[in-house]
Structure 1
Amino acid sequence: MTKIIIKETQNPTILKFEFPDFITQNESFEFKNIDEAKSSPLAQQLFYLPFVKTVYISGNFIAIEKFSIVEWEDVKDAVAEQIENFVNDGGIIIAEQENKAKKQPITVYGETTPNPSALKFVVSRMLTKTAVEFKNIDQTASSPLAKELFKFAYVKEIFIDENYISVTKYEINEWQEITLELRSFIKQYIENGGIVLDENFIQAATVEENNKTQDFDNLDVTSQQIINILEEYVKPAVAADGGNIAFDSYNESDKTVKVILQGACSGCPSSTFTLKSGIENMLKSMLNDENIKVEAINA
């Protein structure tokens, strides 16, 4: 008998109903109304509930976004029971013919980076608008692809942004030994409909981005100028090398700018040179202040 576990998300209007096993294979579905849900008898049944706005089906869960006419606390148990009864009575979650992943041909190629331990795998389609970094497999709840990549013993860290995946390796293997294997795996995974980043993560990241905008407005003028310079002049350059740089803080008293290095930039032998000779000099010039210092808190 299937038992549903109810889990909250960072979006208070969306609740996840988790199954003990996967209900789709490397696919995700989003239904906005009962007509869109023809491939999912369960989603169609859920739309008979007047408060259901959107139904997401992915991995081992069904996520439901509600209208504001009810509170989840009042209806979540009844919804979970309805899903359990439907499945235990033999109901179909996704019709089999619709559950077959449609292959979407893509190209994937490897690009070297200034960091000899990191390689950038460029994909011929957009993957995400939100940069995300994973230091280990425990952090990969939002990325099924990253989770699978960490199963390769030589994968140390993963960074995903826009249309590329930056992989940092351990020293046990040379790139010429593993590049083809990684490139082929990424290509096949994405072509077969594999999920790169979970939809709920994207929504949570949007909320986080809005919070960052509010935080920006509360910063001092110099910090705002530093962020704008990093965004306009520095980030495009480091992104081309498979990395990212994020503003952390600015100390007015000692003129120290602290940044976070991600992807290929993290642990790169040339990162110190880049910080001092490149970014630090740029900030000194643009802000007309020779006392500014730049430090990476994870260098």
Structure 2
Amino acid sequence: MFIQTEATPNPEVLKFLPGREVMGEGSRDFRDADDASASPLAAEIFAIPGVTRVFFGPDFITVGKLPGRDWAHVKAPILAAIMDHFTSGVALFAGDGEAVGHDEGAYEGETAQIVAEIKDLLDTRIRPAVAQDGGDILFSRFDAATGVVWLNMRGACSGCPSSTATLRAGVENMLKHYVPEVTRVEQTL
């Protein structure tokens, strides 16, 4: 098994491509070792000193590390954990391992149509581009009174120094262009 790695815009996050499906549909973000208990692979990666975050995408895994740690010391054990997992045949999740998607909050009438347009743009134009950098971006909520869209940035995008620029220059401009009811985009934490 050959696992490729790619740098991401976030210097503390590296993208691992195992050459096979990881999640298939959706994604899953593990913010700490307690979250990782749902996945044997995520738990194994969190056991590596210096690892701070693990994210499963459709066909990639992104791993965050502490700023003081050098990738030269962290990368090899992560590669070994990924290889061991995929060659062992162990399930990716133990128990409830559902992928996480957009928030499905209840919206009615015209607001429901606006939210559907926002989600469609995210799914067709924005999420594929963000996934190339090892992350994901999900709809959280829309405030029809103010026109503010709240989005959740995950994986390599979470905590990335350029995430604010991505939201403002890319995502906000596109949403405002195609959905005039959108006035601003904010990031949920």
Same fold (TM over 0.5): yes
Q: Residue 150 of structure 1 aligns to which amino acid in structure 2?
A: F
Partner of 1:19: none
SS at match of 1:260: strand
Question: Where do 1:182-261 residues align within 5 Å?
Answer: 182-198=78-94, 200-202=95-97, 205=98, 212=104, 215=106, 220-261=112-153
Q: TM-score, normalised by structure 2?
A: 0.89
- From the CA coordinates, give the structure whose radius of gyration is larger: 1
Q: Is the Cα–Cα contact under 8 Å of residues 110 and 183 in structure 1 kept in the other structure?
A: no
SS at match of 1:288: coil
Aligned residues with identical type, % of pairs: 31
Q: Is the Cα–Cα contact under 8 Å of residues 52 and 66 in structure 2 kept in the other structure?
A: yes
Partner of 2:55: 159
Structure ranking higher on relative contact order (CA contacts 8 Å, 6+ apart): 2
Partner of 2:9: 114
Partner of 1:173: 69
Relative to structure 1, the CA distance from residue 130 to residue 142 in structure 2 (aligned partners, 3 Å threshold; closer, same or farther) is farther
Q: Residue 45 of structure 2 aligns to which amino acid in structure 1?
A: L
1:216, distance to aligned residue in structure 2 (A): 7.2
Partner of 1:5: none
Q: Is the Cα–Cα contact under 8 Å of residues 36 and 46 in structure 2 kept in the other structure?
A: no
1:141, distance to aligned residue in structure 2 (A): 3.1
1:195, distance to aligned residue in structure 2 (A): 3.0
- The number of equivalent residue pairs is 186
Q: Residue 78 of structure 2 aligns to which amino acid in structure 1?
A: L
Q: Is the Cα–Cα contact under 8 Å of residues 48 and 77 in structure 2 kept in the other structure?
A: no
Relative to structure 1, the CA distance from residue 126 to residue 144 in structure 2 (aligned partners, 3 Å threshold; closer, same or farther) is same
Question: Deviations 1:130-175 (Å, cap 9, x if unpaired)?
Answer: 3111111111232011111111120001101212111011113121
Question: Deviations 1:181-202 (Å, cap 9, x if unpaired)?
Answer: 321231123212233223x424
Q: Is the Cα–Cα contact under 8 Å of residues 244 and 265 in structure 1 kept in the other structure?
A: yes
State how far apart, in whole Å, the 2-side matches of 1:248 and 1:167 are: 23
Q: Is the Cα–Cα contact under 8 Å of residues 14 and 156 in structure 2 kept in the other structure?
A: yes
Q: Residue 115 of structure 1 aligns to which amino acid in structure 2?
A: N
Identify unmatched segments of 5+ residues in structure 2: none
Q: Residue 51 of structure 2 aligns to which amino acid in structure 1?
A: V
